[in-house]
Every structure is written in structure tokens, then in C-alpha cells.
Amino acid sequence: MNDNALIIIAKYPEKKNVKTRLKDSMSDEQRLELYVLLLNRAMADLGNIPGVDTFIAYAPKEKEDYFLRFNLGMIPLNDGDLGIGMLKAFEEVFSLGYKRASLVGADIPDLSPIIIIEAFSVLSENDLVYGPAKDGGYYLVGMRKLIKEVFESVPWSSDQTLKKSLEQATISGSSVGFTEMLSDIDRIEDVKNAGLI
């Protein structure tokens, strides 16, 4: 067991619930294909980083069989509030004895092992680390102890997500560091810029 745990949060691929912000510009089949591509890429790129144990926090929990093929640690989540799901995933890995944990989405095409290693390095001097996304959210959050406040009173999937999370970090008295800013895939321009179509 390593000191560092990486959590990849992932949904079971279904047309109705993946990349829904792209509904106006991509068909259901295209969105599903895109999500599966990103999911498989994330597992291949991030599933075997030296010094890091990787877990999949997946929903719905009855779809465990789909995710077993990645041969990673498994954390079942209930469908529902993203903040509650992220908090539960952190609680799970800290209860196993990990010293530091970072959580990312499965759909960030430019996310690399180097950025994950950098995030854990930032945690050697800070309580929290964020990977800011260009849309005002974040693609990565990491911590070296459980800080529940950063998952409370936050508007998820909003251009205020990171701003509000940082306000909550201040309330908790936590120090914060950052990794580089990346784009996630929420608009058709993001898909094109990432060379995915």
C-alpha cells in the first residue's frame, strides 16, 4: 500500500446520463462513444502511476461488474449529489489509512500522470490542492485530511464551483495549492479542441 490514493469518479456509460451538456450538439450515440473513449483512456493513463494506488468511485453501485475489468480499487457510490459522492470517496480511502488522496473526473483528456504526481507534491505543503478548469470549476481536488466543508454549499457544474469551494476552504482554515489549469469536455468546442472528433 502506498501513501497516496487517486480516486477516479466515473458513471456507468448510459446515453441518458453522460456528457449531457453536449446534448444540443451531439447525438446520444456520439456522447456515449465519447464518454467511453475518455473513460478507457483515463483508466489506461492513470491506473498505474508509481507511488499511487488508484480507485474507481463508480455509480450506480449495481454496475460493479462493468468496472471490475479495470483491475483497480472499487468504491461504490449512490446516484445523487456530486458533493456527497466525492466526500464518501475521500472518507473511504482515508479510512483505509492513506495519507493523501486526490480525486479526478474520468473525462479530462489532458489529465496526465505528471499532473497527478504534481498534485500529491502540492499536498506535502498544503491541506488542499485544486486543478482549476477553464469553465470555473475544477477537474481535481486533493487533500491530506478529510475537509468536509469544501463539499458543502457548493453549486456543482457551475462557473462558481471553484470560487465557492475556495471560500469553503477558507472557512475551514485550510491552506490551498494548485496544479495547472485544464479544459474539461462540456462544449462541442472542447471536443474539437481536444481532437476527439
DSSP per-residue codes, the chain: --SEEEEEEEE---TTTSSGGGTTTS-HHHHHHHHHHHHHHHHHHHTT-TTEEEEEEEESGGGHHHHHTT-SEEEE--SS-HHHHHHHHHHHHHHTT-SEEEEEES--TT--HHHHHHHHHHTTT-SEEEEEBTTSSEEEEEESS--GGGGSS--TTSTTHHHHHHHHHHHTT--EEE---B--S-SHHHHHHTT--
Residue 173 predicted with pLDDT over 70: yes
pTM of the full structure: 0.93
| Residues 34-77: tens digit of each pLDDT | 999 999 999 999 999 999 999 999 999 899 999 999 999 999 99
Residue 19 predicted with pLDDT over 90: no
Predicted local confidence at residue 197, as pLDDT: 65
Q: Read off the pLDDT of each residue in 162-172 and give the average, rounded to a whole number.
A: 95
Residue 162 predicted with pLDDT over 90: yes
The domains found in the chain, sorted by start residue, are 4-192 (3.90.550.10)
| Residues 119-153: tens digit of each pLDDT | 999 999 999 999 999 889 999 999 999 999 999 99
Q: Read off the pLDDT of each residue in 72-89 and give the average, rounded to a whole number.
A: 90
